[in-house]
């Protein structure tokens, strides 16, 4: 059995930490994307500017992770009906979100670099029927630094499964977002109480870089 990483300092060592970026895609985040169009049709608010700020904060954390030597793993949704379960289709309504090969499925303001793992999922959970667990185990990862959208849906679903698989969970509260504020706050509270640690991007970046700073 491996030594238990009890403290946050132990858990956030770059050599066994991966920054996981979930669903930062045009259909979820961009003006003109699927969620924006659906919100407009229902006279609901959609804050594309807030999503841009979120992406920029994630980009800063991505840069810090790279400088510290921690891998960045990108998880993206492809939701064509041919990939989705009957229950998922019934709940999700019409087809059109994150369609394979579309502009909507492309990354929003962020791009993987050559060599970065990109994992494609067809459900909310980034581990379900994907190679994410194998990718992480192959790199000796023990801690997941979680970012992306939506806090209370795909981020939540993925971090819970990660916890059950044995990963330490660190949720970066200003690098996740949701159109449902109550759901967003609920996930933050649940992670604090049951699944891991919640901290800000500035502290997360500082801890990663401090771990590799010359003594």
The yes-or-no answer on residue 121 being catalytic is yes
Q: Which of 27, 154, 156, 175 is catalytic?
A: 154
Active-site pick, 27, 98, 121, 156: 121
Catalytic: 82?
A: no
Q: Which of 23, 27, 29, 175 is catalytic?
A: 23
Give the DSSP letter string of the chain. Answer: -PPP--SHHHHT-GGGEEEEEE--BHHHHSTTSHHHHHHHHTT----HHHHHHHHHHHHHHHHHHHHHT--EEEEEE---GGGS-HHHHHHH-SS-TT-TTSGGGSBSS--PPTT--EEEESSS-TTTTSSHHHHHHHTT--EEEEEEE-IIIIIHHHHHHHHHTT-EEEEEEEEEE-S-HHHHHHHHHHIIIIIEEEE-HHHHHHHHHHHTS--
Catalytic residues: 23, 121, 154
């Amino acid at each position: 059995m491996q030594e238990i990483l009890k403290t946050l300092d132990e858990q956030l060592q770059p050599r066994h930490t991966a920054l996981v970026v979930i669903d930062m895609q045009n259909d979820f985040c961009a003006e003109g994307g699927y969620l924006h169009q659906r919100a407009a049709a229902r006279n609901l608010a959609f804050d594309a500017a807030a999503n841009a700020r979120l992406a920029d904060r994630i980009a800063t954390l991505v840069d810090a992770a790279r400088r510290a030597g921690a891998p960045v793993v990108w998880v993206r949704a492809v939701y064509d009906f041919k990939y989705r379960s009957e229950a998922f289709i019934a709940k999700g309504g019409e087809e059109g979100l994150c369609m394979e090969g579309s502009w909507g499925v492309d990354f929003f303001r962020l791009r993987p670099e050559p060599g970065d793992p990109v994992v494609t999922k067809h459900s909310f959970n980034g581990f379900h029927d994907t190679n994410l667990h194998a990718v992480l185990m192959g790199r000796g990862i023990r801690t997941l630094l979680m970012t992306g959208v939506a806090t209370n849906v795909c981020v939540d679903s993925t971090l819970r499964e990660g916890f059950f698989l044995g990963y330490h969970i660190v949720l970066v509260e200003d690098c996740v977002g949701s159109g449902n504020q109550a759901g967003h706050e609920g996930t933050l509270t649940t992670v604090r109480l049951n699944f891991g640690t919640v901290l800000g991007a500035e502290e997360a970046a500082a801890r990663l870089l401090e771990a590799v700073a010359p003594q």
